[in-house]
Chain A
């Protein structure tokens, strides 16, 4: 597609990347078909191609972002379904990331949005704060019914209360910085991203991961100084906090590489995995470029790593049908599509794939808090598609999706099932459903 940046604009490295992305897009429109918001809203402006055009105009003009553009960029889930569809290989992810930073730097959001964003930024990446916030939300639940049902602010507040789990699991000790030793002969040594929000909402995921890996002869390190991957703030366009979080992880894992070597950095939240795999790009012009690229190259999803290692179940088939829900960050962001299904089948589950598997469930990081209406419609659409295949349970590789789809059938992380079938405990939500 034609672009019209000035030579001076093109001296900025971020604009250079944007220009390259825009020039790769040929405006064919294929992406519109697999974009969740275009499916729901039927407006070019809420399709990837429309957003690319809005962003192109905003960047070329050099003008501050306007409310109209922000509205349509904000509606993007960053599910990256468009990138799977795009025949010409347009790097939409880095374009929309850049646009979000540009918006953050040039646009003043209304007070209630700033308040909400500040709260999410301060609370979600820090497990202690998140735990407190969820407990407070729980206390407020009876009052939520009194909230007005109109107005962006109140609608979002309600969405937050609705999403908060009714009870919180007890915190786990496995996530503290430590080394979980391999059982038997050590085959490999990996770092585990212990994450942030996930360990508050579902500590059993890290527990299952560590149990399974150590049982398979892998030493699992929770590195000191590693924490939130930075995805949360990155997707809000908050460049500096995102880079700070990423830098801390790069330093922590680089220290582990120096100390004892790492065969992989295992991530069991695919949203985070997509971001860690992008550290190399994020730091391409920074002093940490080389270290960041090394970390990105080592990063892999838990299912990717288990496939590499050779997973073998030890229990008999459970006689359960699992609806595998492909998290967008896994299928579109990391292009991991077969591994989770193959592993689940190997573990003895009957794996069923719902229709429209490529369409987002509406979770998308903090999207379900910021855009509750669209997120709610996508959730209903996803659950209806899952219901049609009548599974016993749902498995997904991302805590966001797990929370979003909870409420009906049991939803578990893929690794919980793999651990169970290889000698671990039955996931609590299944409560003896196995035959």
Chain B
């Protein structure tokens, strides 16, 4: 079980009073406090780590969120924000003495402005929900995490989520205009707005990706974009994973930026084909999904150049999608890839390191060797164009030794990513999963500096405090200063 900060005994001792306090703010049905019903809230998309909270609060308005935060701040209670609970880094893992603040009931679209190309939505609207709301008018919201069907925009902001099409359109941070946030002491603040660049410090940049440690996001103003005239996906199959990796580097190196450039290895191809029936090449060791968009002529031109590059790497086969349905099936398989691995393994740990694309062949080869050494299978599916790896380490959670091996294997992969000039996380966030590896990437001064930012927003470290930073770091002087 993952180590967290010691629960505050005085908070645990007051649990009944705290539930009453929350029920004075929210309708009784929106406060959960019995052990049995807290259980399903003990974990998120990283089910290997579990800890039931003290309570779950489900507000429906920003004002209710503010009231809950003011109350918890006054009472010294830790708060763990939660969206759809799809985090793969344990970002929504509760603490024993915490209130989980679930924003799932806040799922309304507040405003759509096509003239200024923006939408204002509550934090609990799903990522795909934004696109669905504007697609009839020919618009879409660009960042598309694989969990976009379920994950919520508030969580996307907190983790600065990416997705397959971020190669062209940028990640969440590049598609935000404004936020309504609630501070740890319950103040409601609006930052940014219906315009591109706000005066003063870049608060938007600071809050985005802060993993629920600086403030609670309740409303998000996103940029919506005109849908492309058309798009087409192609599949290129190879007989070795490092050859596919080298092909990715050659495409990116040639200056072509497709809208998406995704990689899948054999285990993933097989698991996803069983779910999506997309016509993936079952004989390939690795496959690339490459998508281009624009007018038909533009697509043809780009696809021609990409095919010529692929040809240099002796592909087993290449196939361009012939219909919208075929493209949809191709993406259905890719976006369901993590879950689909559940068909071939009872459990998996999903890693999220990012490396320079020139290192892809080397790192993929090393991951294969490491997998053989530790005896655990690995399935690779990732945003190749960005060099954002997602090795899925397959293990059996009913066997503690297998889980321990998986954790060690995962840590070794991430260390390798940092070693070759990459970083620990591309889009899933640090959460609890990569917390203790932060020292691999940052020295003490750098970590202190980041912790001072947190202290400035949250002097008592009540907001999601067990995440992002190694627990064992000494309480730095700088932190004490910031708290004063």
Do A and B associate with each other? yes
* Residue of chain B at shortest CB distance from A25: B342
Contact (Cβ within 8 A) B342 A43: no
Q: Which listed residue, A23, A85, A90, A355, touches B149 by the CB 8 Å rule?
A: A85
Contact (Cβ within 8 A) A26 B341: yes
Scoring B residues 381 to 421 as 1 if CB is less than 8 Å from chain A, else 0, what string do you get? 00000000000000001100000000000000000000000
Scoring A residues 40 to 71 as 1 if CB is less than 8 Å from chain B, else 0, what string do you get? 01111100011001100100000000101100
Contact (Cβ within 8 A) B39 A57: yes
CA distance A42 to B58 in the complex (A): 8
CA distance A34 to B126 in the complex (A): 11
CB distance from A82 to the nearest CB of B (A): 11
Chain B residues with Cβ under 8 A from A24's Cβ?
Answer: 342-343, 346
* A2-B398, A87-B342 known; A49 vs B40 contact (CB < 8 Å): yes
Chain A residues with Cβ under 8 A from B342's Cβ?
Answer: 24-26, 28, 87-90
Chain B residues with Cβ under 8 A from A49's Cβ?
Answer: 40, 85
Contact (Cβ within 8 A) B150 A32: yes
* Residue of chain B at shortest CB distance from A29: B86
CB distance from B39 to the nearest CB of A (A): 5
Chain B residues with Cβ under 8 A from A386's Cβ?
Answer: none
* A3-B398, A42-B105, A87-B340 known; A28 vs B40 contact (CB < 8 Å): no
Scoring B residues 17 to 44 as 1 if CB is less than 8 Å from chain A, else 0, what string do you get? 0000000000000001010110111011
Task: Judge if B336 is at the interface, Cβ distance under 8 Å.
Answer: yes
Chain B residues with Cβ under 8 A from A26's Cβ?
Answer: 47, 338-339, 341-342, 346-348
* A29-B84, A42-B124 known; A88 vs B339 contact (CB < 8 Å): yes
Contact (Cβ within 8 A) A87 B339: yes
Interface size class on chain B is 35 or more
Contact (Cβ within 8 A) B45 A27: yes
Of B32, B124, B339, B348, most A-chain CB atoms within 10 Å? B339
Chain A residues with Cβ under 8 A from B39's Cβ?
Answer: 53-54, 57
Chain B residues with Cβ under 8 A from A1's Cβ?
Answer: 47, 346-347, 397
Given contacts A28-B150, A29-B150, A87-B272, 10 further A-B contacts (CB under 8 A): A23-B346, A26-B341, A27-B43, A30-B336, A33-B149, A42-B58, A54-B39, A68-B36, A87-B337, A87-B342
CA distance A39 to B105 in the complex (A): 8
Q: Which listed residue, A3, A23, A28, A85, touches B86 by the CB 8 Å rule?
A: A28
Chain B residues with Cβ under 8 A from A30's Cβ?
Answer: 86, 147, 149-150, 336, 339
Q: Which listed residue, A34, A43, A89, touches B275 by the CB 8 Å rule?
A: A89
Chain B residues with Cβ under 8 A from A72's Cβ?
Answer: 37
Contact (Cβ within 8 A) B346 A29: no
Task: Judge if A412 is at the interface, Cβ distance under 8 Å.
Answer: no
Scoring B residues 331 to 356 as 1 if CB is less than 8 Å from chain A, else 0, what string do you get? 00000111111110011100000000
* Residue of chain B at shortest CB distance from A38: B104
Chain B residues with Cβ under 8 A from A95's Cβ?
Answer: none
Chain B residues with Cβ under 8 A from A44's Cβ?
Answer: 40-41, 85, 102, 104
* Residue of chain A at shortest CB distance from B338: A28
Chain A residues with Cβ under 8 A from B347's Cβ?
Answer: 1-2, 26
CB distance from A389 to the nearest CB of B (A): 12
Contact (Cβ within 8 A) B275 A42: no
Contact (Cβ within 8 A) B47 A27: yes
Contact (Cβ within 8 A) A68 B45: no
A contact set with B: CB distance below 8 Å? 1-4, 23-34, 38-39, 41-45, 49-50, 53-54, 57, 66, 68-69, 72, 85-90, 355
Q: Which listed residue, A28, A33, A68, touches B339 by the CB 8 Å rule?
A: A28
* Residue of chain B at shortest CB distance from A28: B339
Chain B residues with Cβ under 8 A from A86's Cβ?
Answer: 339
- A-B residue pairs in contact (CB < 8 Å), sample of 22: A2-B48, A3-B398, A4-B398, A26-B348, A28-B86, A28-B147, A30-B339, A32-B85, A39-B107, A42-B58, A42-B102, A44-B102, A54-B37, A68-B36, A87-B272, A87-B339, A87-B342, A87-B343, A88-B275, A88-B340, A88-B342, A89-B343
Scoring B residues 128 to 144 as 1 if CB is less than 8 Å from chain A, else 0, what string do you get? 10001000000000000
CA distance A29 to B32 in the complex (A): 20
Chain A residues with Cβ under 8 A from B44's Cβ?
Answer: 27, 29
CA distance A69 to B339 in the complex (A): 26
CA distance A25 to B147 in the complex (A): 15
Chain B residues with Cβ under 8 A from A355's Cβ?
Answer: 132
Contact (Cβ within 8 A) A29 B147: yes
Chain A residues with Cβ under 8 A from B43's Cβ?
Answer: 27
CA distance A90 to B39 in the complex (A): 20
CB distance from A19 to the nearest CB of B (A): 10
Chain B residues with Cβ under 8 A from A90's Cβ?
Answer: 342
Contact (Cβ within 8 A) A87 B47: no
* A42-B104, A88-B340, A89-B343 known; A28 vs B36 contact (CB < 8 Å): no
Contact (Cβ within 8 A) A34 B149: yes
CB distance from B27 to the nearest CB of A (A): 12
* Residue of chain B at shortest CB distance from A3: B398
Contact (Cβ within 8 A) B40 A2: no
Chain B residues with Cβ under 8 A from A38's Cβ?
Answer: 104
Chain A residues with Cβ under 8 A from B341's Cβ?
Answer: 26, 88
Contact (Cβ within 8 A) A50 B150: no
Chain B residues with Cβ under 8 A from A28's Cβ?
Answer: 45, 86, 147, 150, 338-339, 342
Chain A residues with Cβ under 8 A from B36's Cβ?
Answer: 54, 57, 66, 68-69
CB distance from A227 to the nearest CB of B (A): 37
CB distance from B93 to the nearest CB of A (A): 12
CA distance A33 to B105 in the complex (A): 13
* Residue of chain B at shortest CB distance from A35: B150
CA distance A68 to B43 in the complex (A): 19
CB distance from A149 to the nearest CB of B (A): 19
Chain B residues with Cβ under 8 A from A42's Cβ?
Answer: 58, 102, 104-107, 124
CA distance A86 to B39 in the complex (A): 22
- The 8 A-B residue pairs whose C-beta atoms are closest, nearest first, are A88-B342, A87-B339, A87-B336, A42-B105, A2-B397, A53-B40, A27-B47, A26-B342
* Residue of chain A at shortest CB distance from B276: A87
CA distance A74 to B306 in the complex (A): 53
CB distance from B402 to the nearest CB of A (A): 11
CA distance A24 to B275 in the complex (A): 13
Q: Which listed residue, A3, A54, A88, A89, touches B40 by the CB 8 Å rule?
A: A54
CA distance A45 to B58 in the complex (A): 12
Report B257-281 residues with CB < 8 Å from chain A CB. Answer: 272, 274-275
* Residue of chain A at shortest CB distance from B127: A33
CA distance A87 to B392 in the complex (A): 15
Chain B residues with Cβ under 8 A from A54's Cβ?
Answer: 36-37, 39-40
CA distance A85 to B149 in the complex (A): 9
Chain B residues with Cβ under 8 A from A68's Cβ?
Answer: 34, 36-37
CB distance from B135 to the nearest CB of A (A): 10
* Residue of chain A at shortest CB distance from B392: A26
CA distance A44 to B347 in the complex (A): 21
Contact (Cβ within 8 A) B45 A29: yes
Chain A residues with Cβ under 8 A from B150's Cβ?
Answer: 28-33
CA distance A69 to B37 in the complex (A): 8
Scoring B residues 77 to 109 as 1 if CB is less than 8 Å from chain A, else 0, what string do you get? 000000011100000000000000010111100
Of B37, B85, B151, B337, most A-chain CB atoms within 10 Å? B37
CA distance A159 to B272 in the complex (A): 44
* Residue of chain A at shortest CB distance from B275: A87
